[in-house]
A and B are shown apart, each in its own frame.
Chain A
Amino acid sequence: MRIPCPYCGERDAHEFSYLGDATLTRPDPAAADAEQAFHDYVYLRDNPAGAHEEWWYHANGCRQWLRVTRDTRTHAISGAAPARKSGEPA
């Protein structure tokens, strides 16, 4: 697979490490339902056949965490965006 890194350009997937679903948000630990919310956040995953947003870390490149959109059926990658803008808060 080749991932279009916004900083480095298109690179072989060997340079990256995979984390998983990028649509999840870390729950509020102070919320009343935090325990259930964290359970879902850590363990429950959709398994879509098609477009999927996922985290990839450019370990052997710019060290950015990228939000990559990949079709799970074809491995076609339609985009990759940094988790945060260069040096700026999101």
Chain B
Amino acid sequence: MADHSSHDPLAGLRFDRVPPSGTYGADGEPGVTVTIPETPFIALVVARNGFAESVTGRLGRAFGLEVADRTGAAIGAAATVVGTGPGRFLVLSKTEPDLAGTLRALLGSEAAVSEQDDAYVTFDLAGEKTPDLLAKGALIDIDPRVFLPGDAATTVIAHIGVTLWRVDEATWRLLVARSLEASFTRFLIASGAAFGLRLENGTAGRG
């Protein structure tokens, strides 16, 4: 737990360990809640030469989503497909344990598929102050009147590469490289303390 007397929400926390679950910063109802949802299955699809359009279409039909070859998140019950570059999609699913295998079967030689289930830590940020917190690290326009549900970006927050999208009115989802979980969590705590930040990452501190 943070040492409130110093007003430094990171006081007493090792820099090389993921900070533990708890409430950080200002008292009262937290302005931002950060949860680490059960890691969904993740795969990266990269269309091979000449197949971007076909791959886009197949992904949409397979998951019942409107997938386009652009930055954006197509969110559905079976899967979420996030464009991260031309012909590149991150596919997330809670229900497909062999997601990469399913995608390989679906796309055959039209795309390169790689497992990425363990490459990312997923952060769900909710609460009125989420855009204000993100604006302390992001260099893109995350004004909620501009960055709408379904919008996505692959960008950098506090010098850490992030793919993020707005899931719904209240929730923003961020994928952060696993090795950077501790540093990114520290940024969230330092920047969210003024609003009060509740962190639920199911840990008493890990690295």
The interface bits of chain A over 47-90 (1 if a CB of B lies within 8 angstroms of the residue's CB, else 0) are 00000000000001111100000000000000000100111110
| Interface segment, one of B20-28, B30-38, B79-87 | B79-87
B71→A9 contact, CB < 8 A = yes
A9 CB contacts on chain B under 8 angstroms: 71
State the majority secondary structure of interface residues on A: loop
B85→A63 contact, CB < 8 A = yes
B interface residue count range (under 10 / 10 to 19 / 20 to 34 / 35 or more)? 20 to 34
Q: How far is the CB of B81 from chain A (nearest CB, A)?
A: 15
B49→A88 contact, CB < 8 A = yes
A8→B153 contact, CB < 8 A = yes
Nearest to B157 among chain A residues (CB) is A60
Q: How far is the CA of A87 from the CA of B155 in the complex (A)?
A: 21
The interface bits of chain B over 12-53 (1 if a CB of A lies within 8 angstroms of the residue's CB, else 0) are 000000000000000000000000000000000001111110
A8→B86 contact, CB < 8 A = no
Q: How far is the CA of A39 from the CA of B84 in the complex (A)?
A: 37
A64 CB contacts on chain B under 8 angstroms: 85-86
Nearest to A14 among chain B residues (CB) is B139
A60→B52 contact, CB < 8 A = no
Given contacts A15-B139, A88-B52, A89-B50, contact A82 B86 (CB under 8 A): yes
- Is A7 in contact with chain B by the CB < 8 A criterion? yes
A12 CB contacts on chain B under 8 angstroms: 139-140
A interface residue count range (under 10 / 10 to 19 / 20 to 34 / 35 or more)? 10 to 19
Q: How far is the CB of B124 from chain A (nearest CB, A)?
A: 22
Q: How far is the CA of A42 from the CA of B186 in the complex (A)?
A: 43
Q: How far is the CB of B201 from chain A (nearest CB, A)?
A: 24
B86 CB contacts on chain A under 8 angstroms: 7, 62, 64, 82, 85-87
**Please, could you name 14 A-B residue pairs with CB atoms under 8 Å apart, sorted by A?**
A7-B85, A7-B86, A12-B140, A15-B155, A60-B156, A61-B85, A62-B71, A62-B85, A62-B88, A82-B86, A85-B86, A86-B47, A87-B51, A88-B50
